[in-house]
């Protein structure tokens, strides 16, 4: 099991930003101006049709050449901007992350997969929307400081530290209502999620992944079906281009990696985060009274909403396939009134 380094190698030109990034796991800064936003929107439209899936990231395109074209185009706009914020850094990849309108664009609570050797380095996401974000169009929620809860190995086959409290943890998380062109720069191991885009407009974000110029690249794999893998994960050393060359992003992401050099199995104790830990960490039960949720069961003709369930507009939107009278039943309306009264107290 590895430990966090005593000090990470700095990449921010401003010491205050570096300090906040190390402490909280994220910072917010200005990145793109209005001309940059227009250019980036044009790049997206040139490479994509109007028929975009509810949640779409170009990193996961099955076509590596498409990923490379998108990356190159984004970086042509962004490189000078990044140079004004960072030093001693290298760009790993760039992509678009898109949410079309609809409840299916929800992105669950997660940490991004391990991409660098975190015994010494940090992976950094630079996430910048091309539209103003609000409570309706899929803003990013983060859990401050969660990048340093536990040293973690992360990947599609590895259990997350938050898995047992996927819904509850969201009440501790903060929404980042960025303006178009602003960027949240966050440690890739911070816990985050994004509610669905319930607006009428597509939400486009650029995401650029950087790290220190000396960083080594590592991805992880775990075979939970094999008893010999209990308490173990396999590490793979990768080249700089693996983010665009890794064809498994587009399909079989749960298979053992087919590129890179295996470094063998290492010990990992699969830590778990609990609600008690969060309460002790933040000194109170909730940072927020309510956050968007996905896992609210819609009412049905043969069952009623449980007495303690909350009903709110976002939950109703997720049940649009039910009939009007199922959704706007007297019991649901009463619970909605109670919810709004509590929210406004």
| Average pLDDT of the residues of the chain | 84
Overall average pLDDT of the 78-90 stretch: 97
Overall average pLDDT of the 160-164 stretch: 95
220 has a pLDDT exceeding 50: yes
At residue 251, φ and ψ (nearest 5 deg) are -150, -90
Tell me how many degrees the CA angle 205-211-217 measures, rounded to the nearest 5. 110
Predicted confidence band of residue 15 (pLDDT cuts 50, 70, 90): very high
Distance of alpha carbon 150 from alpha carbon 167, whole angstroms = 20
**Of 103 and 336, which is predicted with more confidence?**
103
Rounded to whole angstroms, how far apart are CA atoms 235 and 337?
Answer: 52
Whether 173 shows a pLDDT value over 60: the answer reads yes
pTM greater than 0.85:
no
DSSP class per residue in 27-91 = EEEE---HHHHHHHHHHHHHH--S---SEEEGGG-S-HHHHHHHHHHHHHHHHHHHHHHBSSEEE
Average pLDDT for 175-183: 98
Compute the half-sphere exposure of residue 218: CA atoms within 13 Å on the CB side of its CA: 22
Give the confidence band of 136 by pLDDT, cuts at 50, 70, 90.
very high
pLDDT at 59: 82
How much of the chain exceeds pLDDT 90, in percent?
Answer: 66
CA dist., res. 239 & res. 116, Å (int): 11
In the sheet where 182-187 sits, what is the strand order?
A: 26-30, 182-187, 124-129, 203-212, 89-99, 55-57
What is residue 132's three-state secondary structure?
A: coil
Who's near 190: CB < 8 A, 6+ residues apart? Answer: 25, 26, 111, 142, 143, 144, 146, 147
∠ Cα 196 222 116 (to 5°): 70
242/219 Cα distance (integer angstroms): 10
Note the pLDDT tens digit of each residue in 36-64: 999 999 999 998 866 677 888 888 777 88
Tell me what pLDDT residue 241 has.
84
pLDDT score of 287: 52
How confident is the model over 96-101, as a mean pLDDT? 94
pLDDT above 70 for 106: yes
Asked whether residue 307 carries a pLDDT value surpassing 90, the answer given is no
Question: Residue 323's pLDDT is what?
Answer: 38
| CB 121 within 8 Å of CB 212 | yes
Residue 234 has pLDDT above 80, yes or no: yes
Task: Give yes or no for residue 318 having a pLDDT over 50.
Answer: no
pLDDT of 50 reads 64
Residues 4-11 have a mean pLDDT of 90
pLDDT at 336 over 60: no
Q: Identify the pLDDT of residue 201.
A: 94
More reliable by pLDDT, 128 or 328: 128
pLDDT greater than 80 at residue 295: no
pLDDT confidence band for 315 (50 / 70 / 90): very low
Under the banding of pLDDT at 50, 70 and 90, the label for residue 289 is low
**pLDDT exceeds cutoff 70 at 109:** yes
Edge to edge, what strands does the sheet with 261-267 contain? Answer: 217-221, 232-238, 261-267
Q: Is the pLDDT of residue 225 over 70?
A: yes
CA distance linking residue 215 with residue 311, whole number of Å: 47
């Amino acid at each position: 099991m590895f430990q966090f380094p005593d000090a990470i190698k700095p990449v921010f030109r401003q010491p205050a930003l570096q300090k906040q990034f190390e402490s909280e796991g994220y910072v917010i800064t200005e990145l793109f101006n209005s001309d940059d936003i227009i250019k980036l929107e044009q790049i997206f439209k040139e490479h994509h049709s109007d028929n975009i899936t509810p949640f779409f990231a170009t990193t996961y395109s099955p076509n590596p050449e498409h990923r490379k074209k998108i990356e190159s185009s984004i970086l042509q706009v962004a490189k000078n901007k990044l140079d004004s914020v960072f030093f001693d850094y290298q760009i790993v990849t760039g992509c678009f992350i898109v949410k079309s309108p609809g409840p299916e664009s929800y992105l669950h609570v997660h940490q991004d997969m391990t991409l660098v050797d975190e015994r010494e380095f940090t992976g950094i996401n630079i996430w910048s929307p091309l539209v103003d974000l609000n409570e309706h169009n899929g803003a990013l929620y983060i859990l401050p400081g969660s990048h340093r809860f536990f040293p973690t190995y992360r990947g599609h086959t590895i259990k997350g530290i938050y898995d047992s409290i996927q819904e509850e943890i969201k009440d501790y998380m903060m929404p980042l209502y960025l303006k178009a062109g602003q960027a949240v720069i966050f440690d890739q191991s911070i816990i985050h999620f994004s509610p669905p885009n319930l607006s009428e407009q597509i939400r486009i974000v650029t995401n650029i992944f950087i790290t220190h110029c000396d960083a080594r690249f590592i991805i992880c794999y775990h075979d939970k079906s094999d008893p010999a893998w209990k308490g173990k994960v396999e590490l793979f050393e990768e080249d700089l281009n693996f983010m665009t060359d890794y064809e498994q992003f587009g399909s079989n992401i749960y298979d053992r990696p087919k590129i890179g050099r295996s470094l063998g199995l290492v010990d990992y104790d699969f830590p778990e985060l609990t609600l008690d830990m969060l309460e002790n960490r933040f000194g109170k039960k909730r940072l927020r009274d309510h956050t968007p949720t996905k896992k609210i069961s819609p009412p049905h003709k043969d069952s009623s909403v449980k007495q303690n369930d909350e009903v709110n507009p976002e939950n109703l939107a997720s049940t649009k396939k039910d009939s009007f009278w199922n959704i706007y039943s007297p019991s649901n309306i009463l619970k909605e009134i109670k919810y709004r009264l509590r929210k406004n107290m």
